[in-house]
């Protein structure tokens, strides 16, 4: 197949794991003989090396924050989305005219608008839209609302901002990464009932199984990796460690990998003194994703204390694959991969006492930790390998193309 992949960001311009995963999927599909071209936003284009198959020209409703900046105001007004959609529809149509393809695969349209989908449908091409988070809610139409205001907005969507919402789109084939995310978006009134749940996976070669042994009396090496924001629950982790530290139940050291909201990071640093953690915690900062393998393999336990409904949990799978035991909340899509007592331990989101109990349990029982380590690796091998994920995506894309080519 000749496929145009459209997304708001593309490596080396990245803000999270989804852009990195997109590039890996592209590489894998190319390795299977598909011709792939990329159309992405101009954000950061001046810092990216030129690539013949990557066009960085699409507009965003609002630029992404630079490292260390707060998110600030994000413009999701329908007038802005419609204007950006018109611009991106035109650029996508030009790209399709220049390089004909068989299918358009939209990866993430956050801040990018639905313009590329409108362009693909106008060109008579099948479209697949993969949904990795809640960003489609910015395209919700008045059809999901009620009352006089909804009727007024409905008219505006039809005649003033026809490209801003899902209202004017034809049927779009969709992939979504978890049942939990699908239900969240359905509850918000979005037209995704036909979306196919395809769970993502991680490379077993990139994340080889090399669990860190723990000698008797050795401090337990703990890891948090992710964004530093209140919804991620790192403050709960520090409170739990404070309780363990006061009880003298086990020796440990926590590495915090990642960056985020400066004010929240400052709050976490203040919490170290309040919990008397001192030298027991290190803020490592942001690290390149390619270093994460060695980081996982250098720790005994990975803690995921998120307090919001996570779309999924790629970091869980990376840690499991490497042989790092996992302790996690079960908010959102992460519940679909956590098997308490089999591949991980679960605790109640926002409850430092429950987390302290789970940590104490695992730090004090090396046999149990090793059992979870083995169970985690087996779970990834059987359910969440990257190869298996790409197989399912390729099958779905092929089905879309074949259905499009088959006369009614």
Per-residue pLDDT of 58-77, as tens digits, reads 999 999 987 656 667 899 99
pLDDT higher than 90, residue 182: yes
CA distances from 282 to 138, 223, 278, 298 (A): 37, 10, 9, 14
What pLDDT is attached to residue 162?
A: 93
What pLDDT is attached to residue 14?
A: 87
Cβ neighbors of 210 (< 8 A, separation 6 or more) are 297, 322, 323
pLDDT higher than 90, residue 247: no
- Highest mean pLDDT: which range of 154-158, 167-171, 262-266, 385-389: 385-389
pLDDT higher than 80, residue 112: yes
Give pLDDT tens digits for 215-245. 888 999 999 999 899 999 999 999 999 999 9
CA atoms of 300 and 221, how far apart (whole Å): 5
pLDDT band at 116, cuts 50/70/90?
Answer: very high
pLDDT higher than 90, residue 322: yes
CA atoms of 113 and 72, how far apart (whole Å): 19
Judging by beta carbons within 10 Å of its beta carbon (0-12, 13-18, 19+), is residue 314 exposed, middle or buried?
buried
Arithmetic mean of pLDDT over the chain? 93
Which domains are present in the chain?
A: 2-201+386-405 (3.40.50.2000), 220-383 (3.40.50.2000)
3-class DSSP state of 308: coil
Terminal CA-to-CA distance of the chain, rounded, Å? 21
Asked if 327 contacts 358 with a C-beta cutoff of 8 angstroms, the reply is yes
Q: Which helix (H) or strand (E) holds 41?
A: strand 35-41
What pLDDT is attached to residue 158?
A: 84
Beta bridge partners, 3, equal 36, 103
Give pLDDT tens digits for 259-297. 888 899 999 999 999 999 988 999 999 898 889 999 999
What pLDDT is attached to residue 371?
A: 97
């Amino acid at each position: 197949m000749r496929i145009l992949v459209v997304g708001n960001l593309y490596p080396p311009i990245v803000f999270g794991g989804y852009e990195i995963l997109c590039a890996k999927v592209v590489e894998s599909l190319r390795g299977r003989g598909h011709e792939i071209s990329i159309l992405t936003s101009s954000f950061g284009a001046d810092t990216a090396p030129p690539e013949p198959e990557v066009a960085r020209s699409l507009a965003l409703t609002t630029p992404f924050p630079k490292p260390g900046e707060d998110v600030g105001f994000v413009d999701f007004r329908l007038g802005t989305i419609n204007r950006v959609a018109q611009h991106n529809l035109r650029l996508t149509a030009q790209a399709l005219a220049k390089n004909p393809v068989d299918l358009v695969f939209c990866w993430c349209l956050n801040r990018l608008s639905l313009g590329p989908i409108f362009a693909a449908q106008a060109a008579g091409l099948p479209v697949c839209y993969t949904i990795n988070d809640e960003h489609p809610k910015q395209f919700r139409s008045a059809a999901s609302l009620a009352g006089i205001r909804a009727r007024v907005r409905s008219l505006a969507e039809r005649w003033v901002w026809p490209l801003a919402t899902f209202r004017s789109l034809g049927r779009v084939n969709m992939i979504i990464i978890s049942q939990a995310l699908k239900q969240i978006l359905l509850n918000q009134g979005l037209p995704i009932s036909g979306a196919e749940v395809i769970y993502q996976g991680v490379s077993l070669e990139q994340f080889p199984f090399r669990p860190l042994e723990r000698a008797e009396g050795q401090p337990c090496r703990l890891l948090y990796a992710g964004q530093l924001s209140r919804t991620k629950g790192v403050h709960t982790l520090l409170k739990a460690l404070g309780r363990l530290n006061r009880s003298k139940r086990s020796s440990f050291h926590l590495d915090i990998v990642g960056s985020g909201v400066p004010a929240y990071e400052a709050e976490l640093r203040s919490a170290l003194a309040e919990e008397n953690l001192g030298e027991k915690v290190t803020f490592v900062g942001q690290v390149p994703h390619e270093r994460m393998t060695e980081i996982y393999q250098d720790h005994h336990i990975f803690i995921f204390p998120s307090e919001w409904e996570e779309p999924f949990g790629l970091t869980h799978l990376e840690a499991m694959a490497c042989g790092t035991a996992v302790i996690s909340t079960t908010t959102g899509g992460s519940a679909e991969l956590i098997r308490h007592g089999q591949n991980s331990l679960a605790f109640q989101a926002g409850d430092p006492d429950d987390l302290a109990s789970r940590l104490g349990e695992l730090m004090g029982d090396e046999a149990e930790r090793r059992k979870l380590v083995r169970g985690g690796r087996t779970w990834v091998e059987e359910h969440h390998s990257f190869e298996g994920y790409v197989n399912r995506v390729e099958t779905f894309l092929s089905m879309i193309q074949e259905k499009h080519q088959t006369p009614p």
